[in-house]
C-alpha cells in the first residue's frame, strides 16, 4: 500500500490572482483542505489549500506559494496527495482506490482473471478495470458486493463472481 493517497487534482487556473480550479476526490469534497499540506506525486512541491468557493466540477482554491495566473496554469493536471496517516480510517467494506490498483483478481473457483488496472466511476458506481493476462483489452467489473464478494488487502487478492459472459 502506498503511503500517499491522491485526494485531488488541479484542472487549471481560475481567475487572474493565482487561484486554481481544484477537483476533490475525498468522500466529503470540502475535506480536501483538511488533509494539508498536500504534495505533488514526485514530492517536490507542497501546498496548503484554502477553498475559496464552489465552482463547476470542483472548487476555486488558493494554494500557498501560487501567486499568479501563469503559476496556476503551470500546475494544470497536477495531482495532489496526502499522507495516508492524515486520512480517516475506513469501514471494513470501503477501500481507497490506490489500495485496489494492482491487486490480483480471481474467480470463486480460484482461476486468475487478471489484475486491477484502474478504479473508475462514471457517476453510477465504481467499476474495476481488469487487465487479463496476455490480453490487450480490459474488462470492466462492477464493484458491487454481488460481483466482488471478497477483497483481501493483506494478501493483495480480490475474489470476484462476475456475471456470465463477462470474461
Per-residue confidence of the chain (167 residues) as pLDDT tens digits?
468 888 999 999 998 889 999 999 888 899 899 988 999 988 899 999 999 999 988 999 999 999 999 999 999 999 999 998 888 887 777 888 888 999 999 999 999 999 999 988 777 788 999 998 888 889 999 998 889 999 998 888 999 998 888 78
Provide the terminal-to-terminal Cα distance of the chain, rounded to the nearest Å: 27
Give Dmax (Cα) for the chain.
58
Q: Is residue 4 packed enough to be buried (19+ CB in 10 Å), middle (13-18) or exposed (0-12)?
A: middle
Q: Which domains does the chain have, with CATH numbers?
A: 4-84 (2.40.30.60), 97-160 (2.30.30.240)
Its pTM stands at 0.72
Single out the residue of 79, 62, 57, 48 nearest to residue 13, CA to CA: 62
Q: Which residues touch 157 (CB under 8 Å, ≥6 apart)?
A: 103, 104, 106, 150
Residues 1, 84: Cα–Cα separation, whole Å: 9
pLDDT for 2 equals 63
pLDDT for 1 equals 47
Amino acid at each position: 500500500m502506498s503511503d500517499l493517497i491522491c485526494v485531488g487534482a488541479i484542472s487549471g487556473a481560475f481567475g487572474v490572482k493565482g487561484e486554481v480550479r481544484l477537483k476533490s476526490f475525498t468522500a466529503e469534497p470540502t475535506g480536501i483542505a483538511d488533509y494539508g499540506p498536500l504534495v505533488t506525486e514526485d514530492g517536490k512541491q507542497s501546498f496548503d489549500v484554502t477553498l475559496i468557493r464552489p465552482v463547476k466540477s470542483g472548487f476555486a482554491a488558493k494554494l500557498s506559494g501560487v501567486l499568479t495566473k501563469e503559476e496556476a496554469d503551470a500546475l494544470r493536471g497536477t495531482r495532489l496527495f496526502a499522507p495516508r496517516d492524515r486520512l480517516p480510517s475506513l469501514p471494513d467494506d470501503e477501500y481507497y482506490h490506490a489500495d485496489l490498483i494492482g491487486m490480483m483478481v480471481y474467480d470463486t473457483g480460484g482461476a486468475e482473471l487478471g489484475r486491477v488496472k484502474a478504479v473508475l466511476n462514471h457517476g453510477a458506481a465504481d467499476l474495476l478495470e481488469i487487465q487479463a493476462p496476455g490480453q490487450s483489452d480490459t474488462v470492466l467489473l462492477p464493484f458491487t458486493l454481488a460481483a466482488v464478494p471478497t477483497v483481501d488487502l493483506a494478501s493483495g487478492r480480490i475474489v470476484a463472481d462476475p456475471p456470465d459472459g463477462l470474461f
